Structure 1
Amino acid sequence: MKKLEITPGVMSSSRNKLYHFTFFNIISFTLLSGNTITLFALRLGADSLLIGIISFFAYISYLCMPIGKSLVPKYGTVGLMGRFWFLRHLMMLPILFIPLAAIRERPLAVYGVIVFSVLGFYVFRGIAITGYNPVIGDIVEENERGAFLSRLQKIQHAVTLVVSIVMALLLGREAPLFRYSSFFLFGIICGIYASFVFSKIPEPGHTTDTESKNLWRSFTIAYKRKPFKQFITCHFLISLASFMITPFLIVYIKMVYAQPDNFVLIFTVFGSIGAILMALVSGFMLDRLGAKPLYFIFTGIIALAIIPTILSPDMKNQQAVWIFSAAVFFFHHMGSHGVLNSGQTYFFAAITAEERLDLGIVFFLTRGLGGGIGALAGGFILQRLQHYPALDAVNVFRIYFGFLVLFIIVIIFFINRMETLGAYPIRNVLAAIVSPREIRTISLLNRLDKFRTISEEKRTIRALAASKSELSVNDILLKLKSPRFTIRKEALTTLSTLPVDKNVADSLISQVKNHPFTTAYLAADIIGKRKINEGIPVLRLQLHSEDFFLSGKCMVSLARLDDRESLSDIEDIVRKTDNARLIVHGSVALEIFKDPYSIAVLLSKLTEKTQPYMKDEIILSIANILGFGEWFYPIYISFLKKNSVGISHLKDFINERGVGPHLSDKIDKLFQSLETGDRIQFASLGELLLKQIDVICKDVNCSSTFRKAIKDTNFTRLNRFCFLTAALILWFADV
């Protein structure tokens, strides 16, 4: 028993071995079972009941899994599967000699050998596959499991497609029985080789003797958990329904439309194409959207696929029969294999690593029980319906498949009630799969998992920002844990464009709290812009941070969140600081609050020795608090470029708007003093005008604040302040 430490290298090597195993095993499986054995039995004269019994063996095999579980301590999961996979194919050797019995016209011997070989083939399969799920669980990371299972499905169905085409070409319309025997022989050889390949995979680390409990006890414990209980119920029902359909589609095509064996195999080729398309869709979407919505969608496809069989139109044209049959097989196989793939992914999400061995057996037992009952029930029901003289073959299948459509619709309602386990809502997924934007987002997310350089990772994150899709939220949140500052910065920039949920809010709050001097300021900015009120406490906490980038963003964000309790602290910071960034951000924050009493704080900063651009920020903030910022901004830009042009714009404004006669002369003189630079006269006229004008902001008259400032030469020596004062006088002057 080879037990190695499951390192990334060992996992990768094991996955490659499993791909190798899957390739040869699916050749063997296609040649020895399913459609091939069904066609072989029909060629030998088997009826619907015998077809149902043969199909039932495929699912009764799961009942043998407890035997396999009891042998795991002796052989290990890999050793067990390798040995019994080998024995499984030896059981098919007797079937090679059926043509000899058929030539001698011994039907009982023929059917007896078929039953013996097929039963042995599946019994040993059931014992062997006990360890399959534990192996899958150990060699694949959780977030890649859906994609890995989809890759296996691609291999399986691509190989099935090629093998089916070759078989269809070699069989012809009436192939001799010995040709079937050659297929069986080659299948046995491939299966034996596949068993040796599987034996080289290292033993899983989670399947020790002590971790395997009593099977029934494991099941009852898990069944108490709602997700597992809901899933295993739906798993049983969909297995029942699916295998009341799959083996009897071939019977339907042969009985209703009288198609030869090679044509039927061609139709199964289209089924394989449908399954490949399913694998491509699942690999692309499953790990992104979650298992439940795809489980729902693929179950719906199974129902849609058999609706045409209820109609069973009378088609005289062989080409029409081909198109009809190919479409039925295509969509049925897409749905049935999609259900298995998404269901297995959901199953892994609903259990723990230690439960994989025991509950993996339960998974297959449930599938086997549902499938076995479905196959037997399907054969029995069809045989009973065929005994009614009033029903021809067409109406027999119309009734049969019509009942199954109704049954599957009921199952869909059960699936809709399953726990999401982190998946997106079904309605959102249905919208996503028809949206080019969401499809592109999924493509980018898949690329994000496979980046090779930092620049490639950054480009992908930026592209996700442009998509603005909620599908990318979880993956972008993971990037906040990157050791690279630039990646965390790109991730935060992207988050600012994406929908906000609790996980996003919590992550942003964590960034503000734990990442000062790096990305905390970006997160603080997003909290304010996206109105995340849960972030107010941490913003208050970091308001006095030594990281002035962070402190500045906290002020602005608290203002955006209208946190009035922080206003006095922000005013205090602005009043005391000489840091340019804090002054600018504080000015913006006070501007957003639009509190009239903050104007005095901002005016006090104008007299300090600061750069001109700092004064510009303060003046524009004051104008916005007073409510004329939009009008004032372009005029102020003109003033900064050339004083006389800015003053001319003010004159144009007063000429167009007009002003009361009691103010007109004073305003004209105010302009003259502004143009000549006579600050003493400007201060005198300005104070007089401000006594006659009410500068109202939120029902507060701010005239006294500006009268006090205009009497101070520290203010009037500033051209910018004087221009602001002249502008506000004109704005608030009586018409």
Structure 2
Amino acid sequence: MTTATPTLTDTEKIKRLPWLITGNVFNILFVLLTFEGSVFVLYLDSLGLDTAQIGVLLSIIPFANLVAPLVTPLTSRFGLKRSFVTFWGVRKLVMSLMLLTPAFLGRFGSGRAFYWVAAILLFFSLARSIAETGGFPWRKIVVPDAIRGKYTALNSMSTTVASIVIVAGAGYVIDNGSGLNRFMILIGIGIAAGILSVISYAQVPAELPGQGRSARQGHLASMRAALSDRNFVLFLLVLGLGTLGTSSLISFIPLYMKSQIGISEGVVVILSIGTYLGALLTSYLWGWTVDRYSSRPVMQTSLFMMMLLPVGLFILPRGNAASAPLAMVVAFVQGVSTLAWQISWAHYLYVGAMPEEKSTAYSAVYYAWAGIVGGTGPLLAGQILNMTAGLSRQIGPFRLDNYTPLFAFAITMMLLSSYLVTRLRSNQPTSFRQFAGMFLTGSPVRALGYIIRYNLTSSEMARVMVTERMGDSANPLSNVELIASLEDPSFIVRYEAIHSIGRMPANDELLEALIKVLDGYDSELSSAAARALGRLGDPRSIPALRQALHSEHRLLAANAARALSFLNAAEAVPELRAKLASEPSKRLQIAYAAALGKLGDEESVDAIFDLFMASKKHLRRVELGLALARISGDERFYLQHWRGLQIDEGTTSAQVLTGLLRSPLLVEHPEWRELLNEAAATLATGDLATGVTSLADFMAEISPSESPTLINQLFSQVAAAL
């Protein structure tokens, strides 16, 4: 008897995800108050350390990631979750030693304090790295890929709200406190929050026995395989360049705001609220976006947005009342762009770059590389600032200082990273240009609103209304919902979706969806799809529409004819002529005649004119007249005077004939001019019958050979009809 292999279902995983998010909320409080962010940088500055020393300390934590490849086999055997939770708790105990720093500083001075803090950070970082070596593959397992983007967004929203609250409180404490005691209070609160995070993480399911584990020999082979994976290595290069640019810049923003812009320490901390607000307001958008359009276009978008950050910092006014508000705007942009970058590269790492069966080895390589570039960024930044400490030059309204080379370095790294993103492998066809175009076409804000409403609606009429309005937005962000609406249980929703797609910008997915409906079993929806294809305006639909001309459903064939004329499908003219000749219904003959008229087919003039004379209904004759006008000349002249005829037939007819009196042909033939003038004068009085008779006399007298061939043909036919 065989034992069933235990499984951890997605439902079970999702049920425990709130504990994972709760742990992340407490953890972000620990992070912000102890070793990362403005509070920690200002704390190091208060110890009397220079920028080079601060850069070294900031680099210790990421450099410790280099132990990941060495400890990965041990964490695999010990258990991924067990390793993570155990060493996540150990690092809190190590960080608690930071509370002794004031006493150490008072006894040994700032020189020795540097080594004290460095030692704490080193042991803290080693514990953190061991924990993360198990934590990364563990998270890969416990978060389903299908909702990874949404989970990341919800997690970001939760941690961002918590960050805003703690940063506001930290800013108050720093502004209203003095010395190192204010930082000790914050570090103590952070350690307490860190302990709560460990308790929360313990509630999340562990990986299954054997899952994510491998023997040392197999692990080393998997690591070698990871390093020979061209796409994975390219991803690491993209991540490395982007991280060098962002970490080198962001690490020293607090000191830049304090020393160069002239903002107080408390306000510098509060500026982080702008960053968190930017992240909070866009977190779900970015998570939804990477799930739908893949990581690559979002990675490029975020990199270009992050390039605005050093530009904004460079042009900030210094030492005046506008400095802090404008710095808050820059912080907001930082929050939007850095979150987009973090969500997109993390999504690509888990979904596109890292195979699940080798996630432990790939995670070890990734984590070690992230440590190298993450540590190099602040280390380089500190050295750049130290080496250019004497730089100070005014150029017009702008001031060059030792941060200017750092800004240039950051932009260069981000540019290189954005270029290499295009070379990453992707299963999604959405390019950066297409993705950016979605936010520049139609009304993207309205489209996003309709998408939200679409997913919240339940009644038929609400779905009909939202589907219709998505077409009004003319924005491709709603393409997925419109295509989904084509499968809606309600016929009305499906019908409305077809018409909405016809009002959208042409797109491969929309085109394929409409052609599928065109070839479907429902002739009414197929007819609507034919009209929508004509309106969509993509010539790639011409073959499908030509095929529809031969459908057994004659109304569908007629609608296909009209659509072909909108697409200027001259190759379909012979088929349209044949359909006009063979169609028994006068009503459907109009469609073929109108299509031939729009295509300007001169050989169909006789057939169209005969149909015109045989038609008794006013609107049919008007449409056939428009077809003849399109063949013979400018349809605008026809439409302009047709509108006038609806108001006053006599006056409009007289105006048309009066305009013809200026023709050079009539100047040469005064007798023709007199007949035409008489007809115009009679029509102007409202005597239509006599006026038409006078017009017929004029047309009988005029020599048709004086006119071009097509006009001659029509002239003769109209004269005979009159």
TM-score class, shorter-chain normalisation, is 0.7 to 0.9
Partner of 1:201, secondary structure, is coil
- What letter corresponds to residue 581 of structure 2 in structure 1? R
Q: What does residue 158 of structure 1 align with?
A: 161
2:486·2:498 contact (CA, 8 Å) conserved in 1? Answer: yes
Q: Deviations over 1:197-254 (max 9, x none)?
A: 22333457996558988453343344x23xx655532421232233334444445566
Aligned to 2:307: 300
Alpha-carbon distance between aligned partners in 2 of 1:647 and 1:258, rounded to the nearest angstrom = 80
How far off its partner does 1:134 sit?
6.5
Structure 2 counterpart of 1:720:
none
**1:16, distance to aligned residue in structure 2 (A):** 2.9
Cα deviation for residue 414 of structure 1 reads 1.6
- Residue of structure 2 equivalent to 1:235: 239
* 1:194 partnered with 2:200: no
Amino acid in structure 1 at the alignment position of 2:496 = E
> Per-residue deviation at 1:41?
4.5
Tell me, in whole angstroms, the C-alpha distance in 2 between the residues paired with 1:447 and 1:546: 39
What is the match of residue 366 of structure 1? Answer: 369
**Within 2, Cα distance between the matches of 1:587 and 1:218?**
67
Q: Which residue of 2 aligns with 1:719?
A: none
Q: Distance in 2 between matches of 1:332 and 1:676?
A: 75
Q: Give the root-mean-square deviation of aligned CA atoms.
A: 5.1
Write the letter of the residue equivalent to 2:368.
L
Equivalences for residues 705-716 of structure 1 within 5 A: none
In structure 1, C-alpha distance between the alignment counterparts of 2:645 and 2:383, rounded to whole Å = 94
Query: 1:372: how far off?
Result: 0.8
Q: Tell me: CA distance 1:654–1:120, structure 2 relative to 1, closer, same or farther (3 Å).
A: closer
Counterpart position of 1:92: 95
Q: 2:58 corresponds to which residue?
A: 55
CA distance in 1, matches of 2:638, 2:332: 68
Tell me, yes or no, if the aligned pair for 2:245 and 2:377 is still in contact at 8 Å.
yes
Is 84-93 or 532-541 further displaced after alignment? 84-93
Could you give the per-residue CA deviations for residues 576-621 of structure 1, whole angstroms, max 9, x where no partner exists? 334565333223223324434435545776899x984796478546
Provide the residue aligned with 1:20 in structure 2.
22
Q: In structure 1, which of residues 332, 340, 349 is the aligned counterpart of residue 342 of structure 2?
A: 340
**Equivalent residue runs for 1:159-558 within 5 Å:** 159-171=162-174, 175=178, 180-202=183-205, 208-209=212-213, 214-222=221-229, 224-225=230-231, 231-251=235-255, 263-281=264-282, 283-284=284-285, 287-288=288-289, 290-307=297-314, 315=319, 336-345=338-347, 347=349, 350-351=352-353, 354=356, 358-382=361-385, 400-419=402-421, 425=432, 429=436, 432=439, 437-473=443-479, 476-482=482-488, 484-514=490-520, 516-558=522-564
Q: TM-score, normalised by structure 2?
A: 0.75
Residues in 2 aligned to 1:47 and 1:647: alpha-carbon distance in whole angstroms: 93
Q: Does the CA-based 8 Å contact 1:267-1:325 persist in structure 2?
A: no
Q: Partner residue of 1:31?
A: 33
1:535 Cα offset (Å): 1.7
Q: Distance in 2 between matches of 1:441 and 1:181?
A: 49
1:652–1:277 CA distance, 2 compared to 1 (3 A) = closer
1:480, 1:488 within 8 Å by CA — same for their partners in 2? yes
Residue correspondence of structure 1 range 97-176 to structure 2 within 5 A: 97-102=100-105, 104-105=107-108, 114-130=117-133, 131-132=135-136, 135=139, 139=143, 148-171=151-174, 175=178
Q: Secondary structure at the match of 2:403?
A: helix
1:567 aligns with 2:573: yes
2:535/2:566 contact within 8 Å kept = yes
Q: Deviations over 1:276-295 (max 9, x none)?
A: 21442454467558413432
Q: Show CA shifts across 1:382-408 (max 9, x none).
A: 55667xxx78999xx965422212212
Q: Distance in 1 between matches of 2:583 and 2:379?
A: 84
Cα 1:233/1:27, change in 2 over 3 Å: same
8 Å contact from structure 1 (residues 244, 378) kept in 2: yes
TM-score of the superposed pair, with normalisation by structure 1? 0.74
CA contact (8 A) 2:527 2:559 kept: yes
Output the CA distance in 1 between the equivalents of 2:260 and 2:512: 61
- Cα 1:59–1:419 shift into 2, 3 Å: closer
Q: Distance in 1 between matches of 2:25 and 2:579?
A: 70
CA distance in 2, matches of 1:526, 1:591: 20
Describe the shift of the 1:620–1:155 C-alpha distance in structure 2 as closer, same or farther (beyond 3 A): same
Q: Residues 729 and 156 of structure 1: is their aligned pair in 2 closer, same or farther, counting only changes over 3 Å?
A: same
Which of the numbers 572, 588, 591 marks the counterpart of 1:582? 588
Partner Cα distance (1:276, 1:546) in 2? 60
Q: Counterpart of 1:200 in 2: which secondary structure?
A: coil
Output the CA distance in 2 between the equivalents of 1:526 and 1:467: 16
Instruction: Give the conservation status (yes or no) of the 8 Å contact 1:445–1:475.
Output: yes
CA distance in structure 2 between the partners assigned to 1:648 and 1:475 by the alignment: 52
1:371 CA drift (Å): 1.8
Q: Which runs of 5+ in 2 are unaligned?
A: none
Going from structure 1 to structure 2, the CA distance change for 1:583 and 1:426 (only over 3 Å counts) comes to closer
Q: Aligned partners of 1:461 and 1:207: how far apart in 2?
A: 45
String of CA shifts for 1:696-724, please: whole Å, max 9, x gaps.
89649657996xxxxxxxxxxxxxxxxxx
> For the residues of structure 2 that align with 1:78 and 1:705, how far apart are their CA atoms?
92
Structure-1 separation of matches of 2:220 and 2:493:
45
> Deviation at 1:300?
0.8
One-letter code of the match for 2:271?
F
In structure 2, distance between residues paired with 1:639 and 1:326: 63
The alignment covers a number of residue pairs equal to 676
**Structure 1 residues 650 and 162: CA distance shift in structure 2, 3 A:** closer
Mark the CA change 1:308 to 1:70 in structure 2 (over 3 Å): closer, same or farther: farther
CA distance in 1, matches of 2:637, 2:299: 55
Amino acid at match of 2:592: G
The verdict on how the C-alpha distance between 1:560 and 1:242 changes in structure 2, with shifts beyond 3 A counting, is: closer
For the Cα contact (< 8 Å) 2:558–2:591, is it kept in 1?
yes
> How far apart are residue 692 of structure 1 and its match?
7.4
Distance, in Å, in 1 between the alignment partners of 2:564 and 2:97 is 81
| Structure 2 Cα separation of the partners of residues 329 and 594 of structure 1 | 60
Report if aligned partners of 2:598, 2:631 keep a CA contact under 8 Å in 1: no
Q: Evaluate the alpha carbon distance shift between residue 190 and residue 656 of structure 1 in structure 2; reply closer, same or farther with a 3 A threshold.
A: closer
Residue 722 of structure 1 corresponds to: none
The code of the aligned residue for 1:401 comes to Y
* Partner SS for 1:92: helix
SS of the aligned residue for 1:546 comes to coil
Task: Render the CA deviation track for 1:318-373: whole Å, top value 9, x for unaligned.
Answer: x6886687677666666555543444345456436637655454444333211212
For the residue of structure 2 that corresponds to 1:190, the secondary structure is helix
Identity across the alignment (%): 16
Q: Residues 48 and 430 of structure 1: is their aligned pair in 2 closer, same or farther, counting only changes over 3 Å?
A: farther
Look up the match of 1:5: 9
Encode CA deviations 1:620-664: one digit per residue, 9 max, x unaligned: 4674466488777899999999xxx97998799779868986999
- Partners of 2:271 and 2:203 lie apart in 1 by 34
AA at the equivalent of 1:367: A
Question: Which amino acid in 2 is paired with 1:591?
Answer: G
- Which secondary structure does the structure 2 equivalent of 1:500 belong to? coil
**DSSP 3-state at the match of 1:155:** helix
> Unaligned regions of 5+ residues in structure 1, if any?
707-724, 731-735
Aligned equivalents of 1:37, 1:379: Cα separation in 2: 15
User: Closer, same or farther in 2 for the Cα pair 1:32/1:486, shift >3 Å?
Assistant: same
The aligned amino acid for 1:217 is R
Following the alignment from structure 1 to structure 2, what is the Cα–Cα distance between the partners of residues 461 and 97?
Answer: 63
Residue 38 and residue 407 in structure 1: after superposition, are their counterparts in 2 closer, same or farther (change >3 A)? closer
Aligned partners of 2:67 and 2:130 also within 8 Å? yes
Corresponding residue SS for 2:504: coil
